[in-house]
Amino acid sequence: MQPDLDTHRARRASLLKTLGEGVLILSTAPEAHRSRDTHYPYRFDSHFYYLSAFPEPEAVLVLIAGRKPKQILFCREKNEEREIWDGFRHGPKAAKEVFGFDAAYPIGEIDKRLPKLLENQPRLAYAFGADPAWDARVMGWINAVRGKVRSGVTAPAHLSDAHALIDAMRLFKDAHEIDLMQRAADLSAEAHRSVLRLCQPGMGEWEIEAELLRVFRAGGCQAPAYTPIVAGGKNACVLHYVGNNQRLNDGDLLLIDAAGEYHGYAADITRTFPVNGRFSAAQKDVYEIVLAAQYAAIDAVRPGENFIAPHEAALRVLTQGMADLKLLSGEVDGLIESEAWKPFYMHKTSHWLGLDVHDAGDYKTKGAWRDLQPGMALTVEPGLYIRPAANVPEALWNIGIRIEDDVVVTEAGCRVLSAAAPKTVAEIEAGMRHEG
């Protein structure tokens, strides 16, 4: 599924209307060196790609708003010698035609052309503070315009954050974005089903990671959406464990937080299951609490609720469960108010999801949690992480469980994109017996 270029053009046109007057400048991400003359796999800047659909490095988008709006791209020139070594480049002429820009110029001309484009513009929107080198470059262009003041030329007097303008757009996913996110979730769920069938005691966490990555790429994901977490036993109690270098022991749980990225859009799925295919009584007790908390949280994802409502719903179920497990003692309301639950559940239940796995958009407006509205996409990921301690029943030691799904707010409630990944006890145990 390729980018919908008409959608990207429409986004630029919409942003021009929001800008009203002035210029917006947005650069893509630079290539990153891995060692000496090797690079990390290239990944574009999400804000830049959201507006341009242009996938190459060394590119800058310039939008000019006003009575004569204009959409301009600066990019690398065609270079047959470099293309032999590094691959295809569109070049300005093809980029203009393919991606629907009004004009496109070689990136080497940007320092010459930008000051002229900024002349007599009232406003400049730019991602100030994101890259010190670019900050200095942009200020150099502004100062070049200021240097013409005696000629009656004015420089932008009002500066604003380009990312904030785009974030407000990215918070709401259109139908094409949701289709891409659904594909990312489907491929990621397939990977989780595959490792469910594969897993057995004695395997290495790295072998599970390798299978996840294989399925992602075989299905068409360009990359994992983030570094996979494959955490067996006590490693599951480390929230961002990425060592993935230990053996899987009989009787332990395995927590996998891993998903693919499809044409820039991320999935984010976590599942937890027993290495040997059967939950112990204690593991099942904890698992059922986390699963019930997730169901309660998903039920709270609907228009009319605010962003924190799923967390509050999950937290109530988790806290009652902690009391039932003898991890906490007291009334649920008091335990929640005193944050007695924090040693066992130390993160929020959701974050925005989209082009970035922790996607753009404010969580609060004017100090209040943002209301959920159709088109917003978020994760729902409660968990419990029980480390050995004097006041913790030994049967619960080193049990770490998280269950995470991707959901989109709809008019009627929400749609779970990652539903194809098994998560009930019965589904997991059947899957590990190769029955599903």
Catalytic residues: 37, 240, 257, 268, 347, 351, 358, 381, 385, 402, 404
344, β-bridge pairs: none
Q: Any residues with CB less than 8 A from the CB of 160 and at least 6 apart, and which?
A: 123, 124, 125
Paired tokens of 56: 């190459």
72, β-bridge pairs: 62, 103
Amino acid 240 reads H
The residue assigned the tokens 């002035």 is 22
Are 47 and 166 contacting, i.e. CB atoms less than 8 angstroms apart?
yes
CA–CA separation, 301 vs 413, rounded Å? 6
3-state secondary structure of 28: coil
3-state secondary structure of 89: coil
Helix and strand numbers (H, E) in the chain are: 13, 21
Strand order of the β-sheet with 377-380 is: 377-380, 405-409, 414-416
